Amino acid sequence: MRSEKLLELKNLIENLKIVDLKKSTEKPNFLKVETYNCTLNNGKTIKREKLIKGENDGSAAVILPLTRENNVVLTVEPRVFTKNTVGIGIPAGYIEKNESGKEAALRELKEEIGYVPSKIISLGGFYQDEGCSSAYNQLFLGLDCEKKYNQNLDPGEFVKYFECSFEEALELIDMNYIEGGNTLTTFARAKKYVRIEKIRR
């Protein structure tokens, strides 16, 4: 990892660290829990609780942006309940009603970092937590991404972005700077496509 890039990243992290965390007395308005009695085919019944996020089930789209130079654009944002209170990842967000995973991925890419790809590849998906949720994350790789727009963030959303080589991003994973499941899974699935793109260019 180039020392100047690591310093740039550390400065972004420092800027977004949580300095005070107080429990609020406000009632939750985004997360809800439903309870179910589930009858199995063998006649047994089990009790389960289901986590609901917002108006939908909480399914999300995640996209790894790769530029023409095979650089990755990472996001840096508050993740207040993690050990470091800041997460390094890639653009992601909830899939809205009547929106496909691909549409959500392109929208999040544009809103969070202002980039647009020339091509998008589906990398499959996974359940966020199949023990208590039906939320399913769809993963994508965006190729030949170009900066075309300014960020358009939601209120209360603070996202910085950071460009580095694909290899440097893998180093950040090895150095435990990147620890989120969305990002780790997407990188693992994208590796074979990145190799193909390098040979083509």
Per residue of the chain (201 residues), give pLDDT as tens: 999 999 999 999 999 999 999 999 999 989 999 999 999 999 999 999 999 998 889 999 999 999 999 999 999 999 999 999 999 999 999 999 999 999 999 999 999 999 999 999 999 999 999 999 999 999 999 999 999 999 999 999 999 999 999 999 999 999 999 999 999 999 999 999 886 555 444
Across 159-186, b (16+ Cβ under 10 Å) vs e yields bbbbbbbbebbbbbeeeebbbbebbebb
Read off the pTM.
0.94
Distance (Å, rounded) from C-alpha 49 to C-alpha 133? Answer: 8
Cα separation, 184 vs 64, in Å, equals 10
Among 121, 125, 136, smallest CA distance to 196 is for 121
Cα four-point dihedral sign 106, 109, 115, 120: negative
Domains present along the chain, CATH in parentheses:
3-18+56-200 (3.90.79.10)
